Structure 1
Amino acid sequence: MPEASTSPVLTLCSLVFEKLDGDSLARASCVSRAWRDTASQDYLWKALCTRIWPSLSSPRGMALLHLKGSFKYFYRLRAQAQLQHKKGHLNRCKLPTLALKDLFFLVDISHCGLPISSAVVCGDELLPSFVGEGLGDSSFDFSIPIATCLPRSWSKEEVQEFEVSWAVAARGSQRVFQLMNTSHYAGGNQEKKGVRVGSACTYAQPLPPGTECGCNVASCLGSCGMGKDSMMDWRGVPCEVQVRVESRCSRLVSTSPSGCTYTYSDFQPFKVSFAILHTISWGCLSQAQVLLYLQHALFHQCQE
């Protein structure tokens, strides 16, 4: 904790603020100027951000934070991205030419709000061996190794209930775009659980809108083989975001005193794969298509 404030009241406020979540801390900063100055201290937001997204403590995470300015500002960007992912609209600015090396991928996995794994990966760190060959272009289908935050394994039922967040940030953009966020489907909704096959579990959601206005969606994804008319509204885009968590699986056989035999399977995640699929052909979109889509999501300014 930084040097204590000269006011005992504000010193007590600082101790209380350390226990608050992001929404409560933001509300506290609206009470008065003194509370705003106390609640705006970056060490409070650093503790909050690293608790939610542990990968921000990594060198790559710190590089991303350096681009965004502060932990408080980064938290606001992530909160806005998650809200806009749910509502389906974005803020927009000037459209540049985007390259894979300009992107930061933020992948977080949790269970009941408890972080399991957190990673920040720059686009130029994705190895070519993770890229499959598409039709005339490399497909957007990557894998990254992950390390778990907790020294424990998970049952097959728990694996299917993982909360997966996949967000993207870019150099030159003051936005964070949420591609997937399964946490708001919590509460036992069986249809929204992950689909487990063997030791891998896949989580899927419809592709979120790149822009509120839907401009140029056809030019971004039109080469998927869909008609232009069906592409003018983002709701007609038959694409899906998929994240696949692969685990090492160990099995334990136990025999009860009554003689019954039980088999338990424990899963330890070690790799995450992510892709955007065309749900008619079930082929991955190309890198060029996804980069154009992310350009609009992160930089587009509607001219209409």
Structure 2
Amino acid sequence: MTNEEILKAVFPLLDGLDLASCMVVSKQWKDIARDDYFWKCLCARRWPSICKRPNPPTVTYFKLYQTFYKRQQRRTLLPPRLSLDDLEFFIDIWTEDKLIFSEVVPGPVFQNGIKIPPPGISDMLRYHLEDPEYKMTIPVEPRFTIPWSQTVTASVLVGRKDSNRVACIINKSRFDYIDRSSHRAHAFEYLDFAPAYPFTSGIRAWISLHFMEDGNEGVLDVFGLEMDFCEAASTKEEVLWLLDMLDWK
């Protein structure tokens, strides 16, 4: 069996990345690897229906695979039109019908976060807070405790100082999920976007309570709050763009 015959037997078994790598080995390998039959085999594995046509829908199957399989480069966002300095957050938390936390939080306070976690928190929560990824966190002062058995809900509105307009982020959402391993309790709400963004939906805002167990079984000692939009925004700029699209009243 010749070298060319061996290559033609092996190439159909490779994935796209390996086949593309073979194209830079030598001119002979490149000429063989560009055979559109090999790329049709790859397309047939990824998009079987597109290979039912007698001819590729683009110039070649190689071009088709090259266009749609490659990882899209992350686009650089334009500077957001909002700043955390322009915003203030109105946060209210209840147990049953009793208001236990009510604060107006300036945007820069969320930016500063929890600089020094209190002693005694779990290692998992400490690692989470010390992770360099962007987070919107604030310390709870004074701290409060919550009986495990009580229903706890939260509401968050955000106001713009530049226009005196307000938008809703979370509306009396219940902390349904308490993760004792990470010592966080979570509630969420689907964001309500302005009519100018009709195709933007299904994005959730999350609010989390950071807690320690105070020694009494079933009681949460809450020392911090966190808000995130991790399904759609993971940087400060992305969060500000997301907030800018809300239905401001």
Letter in 2 for 1:266: V
SS in structure 1 of the partner of residue 85 of structure 2: helix
**1:269 shift after superposition:** 1.6
Report the counterpart of residue 210 of structure 1 in structure 2.
193
SS in structure 2 of the partner of residue 214 of structure 1: coil
- Name the CA distance, whole Å, in 2 between partners of 1:299 and 1:155: 35
Contact 2:197 2:245 in 1 (8 A): no
Q: How does 1:103-252 map to 2 (within 5 A)?
A: 103-125=87-109, 126-127=111-112, 133=132, 139=134, 141-148=135-142, 153-158=145-150, 161-183=151-173, 193-198=175-180, 199-206=183-190, 208-214=191-197, 233-235=199-201, 237=202, 239-252=203-216
Report the counterpart of residue 218 of structure 1 in structure 2.
none
Letter in 2 for 1:242: W
**1:174 shift after superposition:** 2.2
Report the counterpart of residue 82 of structure 2 in structure 1.
98
**1:244 shift after superposition:** 0.7
Uncovered stretches (5+) of structure 2, i.e. residues with no partner? 1-79, 116-128
Uncovered stretches (5+) of structure 1, i.e. residues with no partner? 1-95, 184-191, 216-232, 253-263
Which of 234, 243, 247 is residue 285 of structure 1 equivalent to? Answer: 234
Letter in 2 for 1:155: P
Contact 1:148 1:269 in 2 (8 A): no
Letter in 2 for 1:144: I
Tell me: CA distance 1:296–1:131, structure 2 relative to 1, closer, same or farther (3 Å).
farther
Identity in percent: 17
Contact 1:170 1:298 in 2 (8 A): no
How many corresponding residue pairs? Answer: 153
Letter in 2 for 1:272: L
SS in structure 2 of the partner of residue 147 of structure 1: strand
- Name the CA distance, whole Å, in 1 between partners of 2:205 and 2:214: 29
SS in structure 2 of the partner of residue 146 of structure 1: strand
Higher relative contact order (CA 8 A, sep 6+): 1
TM-score normalised by structure 2 residue count: 0.53
**1:147 shift after superposition:** 2.9
Higher strand share: 2
Tell me: CA distance 1:164–1:101, structure 2 relative to 1, closer, same or farther (3 Å).
same
Contact 1:99 1:291 in 2 (8 A): yes
Tell me: CA distance 1:193–1:271, structure 2 relative to 1, closer, same or farther (3 Å).
closer
- Name the CA distance, whole Å, in 2 between partners of 1:132 and 1:175: 33
Higher helix share: 1
Contact 1:115 1:149 in 2 (8 A): no
- Name the CA distance, whole Å, in 2 between partners of 1:251 and 1:133: 31
SS in structure 2 of the partner of residue 209 of structure 1: coil
Tell me: CA distance 1:247–1:296, structure 2 relative to 1, closer, same or farther (3 Å).
same
SS in structure 2 of the partner of residue 182 of structure 1: strand
Radius of gyration: which is bigger? 2
**1:149 shift after superposition:** 8.3
- Name the CA distance, whole Å, in 1 between partners of 2:208 and 2:229: 11
Q: How does 1:47-58 map to 2 (within 5 A)?
A: none
Letter in 2 for 1:234: T
- Name the CA distance, whole Å, in 2 between partners of 1:244 and 1:193: 8
Once superposed, what is the RMSD of the aligned Cα atoms?
2.9
**1:246 shift after superposition:** 1.5
Letter in 2 for 1:181: N
Report the counterpart of residue 266 of structure 1 in structure 2.
219
Contact 2:81 2:244 in 1 (8 A): yes
Q: How does 1:285-304 map to 2 (within 5 A)?
A: 285-297=234-246
TM-score normalised by structure 1 residue count: 0.44
**1:251 shift after superposition:** 2.8
